Amino acid sequence: MKTRVTLHRDFVISEIDDRLYGAFLEHMGRAIYGGIFEPGHPQADEQGFRRDVLALVRELAPPVVRYPGGNFVSSYNWEDGIGPWEVRPVRLDLAWHSRESNQVGIHEFADWCEQAGTEMMLAVNLGSRDLDAARNFIEYVNHPGGSAWSDERIRNGRRDPWNVRLWCLGNEMDGPWQIGRKSADEYGHLAHETGKALRAFDRNIELVACGSSNPDMASYPQWEATVLDHCYETVDYISLHMYFTNHEDRLGDYLALAEKLDRYIVSIGGVIDYMRAKKRTRHQVHICFDEWNVWYHSVEQDRRILQGSDWPFAPPILEDVYNVEDALLIGCVLNTFIRRSDRVRIACIAQLVNVIAPIMTETGGSVWRQTLFYPLLFASRHGRGRALDVRVDGPVYQTRELEEVPCLDVAAVHDEAGERVTLFIVNRDPQQALELDVALEGFDHATLREHQCLIHPHMKAVNTACTPDHVKPQPGEGLRVEEGRLRGQVAPLSYHMVGVRVG
């Protein structure tokens, strides 16, 4: 079956913000303790950070990491994570029914980010706390010295401020599960006042207001309209979250969930445009998709742990083991973000290590890449530049919700400095190889530079500590560039990263 694809050098969607390939770490399960931080591990450095985990994080190269939550932040006191370890309190985390030792706080996380080569994206607690705690936090983190909280930071061993640019105003404040849940009016007012206070400290920071926790919330999309009516000109982003499930094991429907994501982005883009017109402002709010991933494999196990009578330390929760199907969907999701990069500037896969994560560890043992590590790696490494407007003419299929889902999902990025066009291709067809014919318009002297393919005969195949390379990319075959066109076959249920050198 033939699929024609057309792209042109001058038909640009947007310059991609590198932070589209960000990540998320929450004080939850083994993400922090037993994930990035494990004193006594053979690979631990002098601060307790696992060097083997850091190596894989550097490989993914997330430009930004959101911290410390997530649901955790809505009952978190940031002051608990500063000062000597021996005086830090142990708290009960109400979000994830566990004990929090506070061994890792802002100083430790900042040091880890420096080693990982990434920037901090910090969230403030607007659940159980208010703008006063938020303004103290930013003073501690960003002020050079000569004030109460900045001098406290210096006494705690950090002279220079961290100058964190990106701040989240709470987390999922529409959710009934959230500590300190607010109505849209309550939260919108609080976000505006908190944002106003933080901007009084530094008008150059970027602020993220909470949007809907997911598009199935009863208040969606009125939540976004009400919140932005309060704080549109105070914030720079509205956050969205979305998790993907395949409980019914219907692969075609599952891989089409990226189309539902696309509709979510388009709908909230419309709300933003409406509010911008209502406010008669030039200010442009963008979307920050600061939680997204596949999450369904471990739900029953998590429920048993979280409903127990004890308060465990770093319990093994949300440790989904991902298969080939999940990697294909992640490829489609990343393609959606690229194609909507005019709207979505920041995105954070949730999470980075152990908790619904591309990187997994054994406590005291090994570390390995999950299947979905690879599409994220390719997008992060080769998806920076200008997103091109790609037109696809090929076969489609139907799902229970959607009438026309393209069998071939394609995104393209032009890295002008690197003289490269990268195509990210997913064939969602379960049986048919697709004959590909891509017109590379406006590019001179195109030659095939690189082709990596993620494919496996068993869709349920996974990587484990014992078989860490069971599913991994391999050099692709069957594609060629001739006469300014990329041609060849893409196998059914496969992911491809194709780099083309261009003049």
The pLDDT of residue 310: 87
Sorted by sequence, the CB contacts under 8 Å of residue 8 that are 6+ apart come out as: 388, 389, 441, 442
The pLDDT of residue 403: 87
Share of the chain above pLDDT 70, in %: 99
Q: What is the mean pLDDT of residues 77-85?
A: 97
Q: Backbone dihedral region of 408: left (phi > 0), alpha (psi from -120 to 50 degrees) or beta? A: beta
Q: Which of 26, 38, 79, 172 is catalytic?
A: 172
Is 291 annotated as catalytic? yes
Q: Report how far residue 2's alpha carbon sits from residue 408's, in angstroms, rounded to the nearest whole number.
A: 10
Q: What is the mean pLDDT of residues 50-55?
A: 98
Q: Report how far residue 501's alpha carbon sits from residue 231's, in angstroms, rounded to the nearest whole number.
A: 45
Classify strands 367-369 and 494-501 as parallel, antiparallel or unpaired.
unpaired
- pLDDT tens, residue by residue, 5-43: 999 999 999 999 999 999 999 999 999 999 999 999 999
The pLDDT of residue 305: 67
Which helix (H) or strand (E) covers residue 22, if one does? strand 22-24
Q: Inform me whether the pLDDT recorded for 125 exceeds 70.
A: yes
- Partner residues linked to 167 by β-bridges: 122, 207
Is 172 annotated as catalytic? yes
Question: Strands (DSSP E) along 366-502, which ranges?
Answer: 367-369, 386-388, 391-393, 396-397, 405-406, 408-415, 420-427, 434-441, 447-454, 474-475, 479-482, 485-490, 494-501
Taking a C-beta distance cutoff of 8 angstroms, is the pair 437, 4 a contact?
yes
The pLDDT of residue 304: 67
Tell me whether residue 267 is exposed, middle or buried, using C-beta atoms within 10 angstroms of its C-beta: 0 to 12, 13 to 18, 19 or more: middle
Taking a C-beta distance cutoff of 8 angstroms, is the pair 190, 198 a contact?
no
Q: Report how far residue 73's alpha carbon sits from residue 171's, in angstroms, rounded to the nearest whole number.
A: 7
Q: Report how far residue 204's alpha carbon sits from residue 201's, in angstroms, rounded to the nearest whole number.
A: 9
Assess whether the previous peptide bond of 331 is cis (omega < 30° from 0).
no
Average pLDDT, the chain: 96
- List the domain boundaries for the chain: 2-9+388-501, 23-382
Q: What is the mean pLDDT of residues 120-130?
A: 97
| Residue 369 burial (CB count, 10 A) | 20
447 vs 306, residue with greater confidence: 447
Sorted by sequence, the CB contacts under 8 Å of residue 462 that are 6+ apart come out as: 321, 322, 323, 370, 371, 470, 471
- pLDDT tens, residue by residue, 268-312: 999 999 999 999 999 999 999 999 999 999 877 666 667 777 899
- pLDDT tens, residue by residue, 335-382: 999 999 999 999 999 999 999 999 999 999 999 999 999 999 999 999
Look up the CATH architecture of domain 2-9+388-501: Sandwich (2.60)
Taking a C-beta distance cutoff of 8 angstroms, is the pair 119, 166 a contact?
yes
Domain boundaries 23-382, CATH class: alpha beta
Q: Report how far residue 38's alpha carbon sits from residue 51's, in angstroms, rounded to the nearest whole number.
A: 10
376 vs 2, residue with greater confidence: 376
Q: Inform me whether the pLDDT recorded for 113 exceeds 90.
A: yes
Q: What is the mean pLDDT of residues 221-240?
A: 98
Q: Which of 108, 139, 291, 325 is catalytic?
A: 291
Q: What single string gives the DSSP state of each residue in 273-315?
A: HHHHHHHT-----EEEEEEEEE--TTHHHHHHHHTSSS--BS-
Question: Encoding tokens for residue 500?
Answer: 């083309």
The pLDDT of residue 351: 94
Q: How confident is the model at residue 181 (pLDDT cuts 50, 70, 90)?
A: very high
Q: Inform me whether the pLDDT recorded for 1 exceeds 90.
A: no
